[in-house]
A = this chain, B = another copy of it.
């Protein structure tokens, strides 16, 4: 299949380009993600790749996933590890994570924006809530956490 050869090429290039080695473990973890296009957890990836490399360890799977995410080859869905945070702001708002300070700011949403965003959902999808998270730098005097 041409597609998987392509993505393998991309993987190899990205690794080379960062001075990282194209190890069997990295290739396999990447392949397993490309092959089954769902959203597996690290444990699930671990389970899937063990049949190919029985000696692979969970720590290696975590390492490989981290590498793939860092190289932009894969996306991680739980953007922010760490403890859940609670906010008393009940107005519809988005969150901005300042990556430098680790602080979180509330961003007010214009009226109707959430409804507008919901219109991108295909028929059959009924969203009870929408969450918008920005990440980046805020040239702002801190304050929030």
With A96-B127, A131-B132 in contact, do A87 and B75 touch (Cβ < 8 Å)? yes
Give the complex CA separation of A120 and B108 in angstroms.
8
Query: For the complex formed by this chain, how many copies does it contain in all?
Result: 2
With A75-B87, A78-B84, A86-B77 in contact, do A139 and B117 touch (Cβ < 8 Å)? no
- Whether A121 lies near B134 (C-beta < 8 A) is yes
Give the complex CA separation of A108 and B121 in angstroms.
8
Main secondary structure of the interface of A (DSSP, over half): mixed
- Whether A136 lies near B127 (C-beta < 8 A) is yes
Cβ distance A47 to chain B, nearest Cβ, rounded Å: 13
Give the complex CA separation of A42 and B86 in angstroms.
8
With A88-B34, A134-B127 in contact, do A96 and B121 touch (Cβ < 8 Å)? yes
> Chain A: residues with CB nearer than 8 A to chain B?
33-34, 37-43, 45, 65, 68-69, 72-90, 94-96, 99, 104-105, 107-110, 113, 117-118, 120-122, 124-140, 143-145
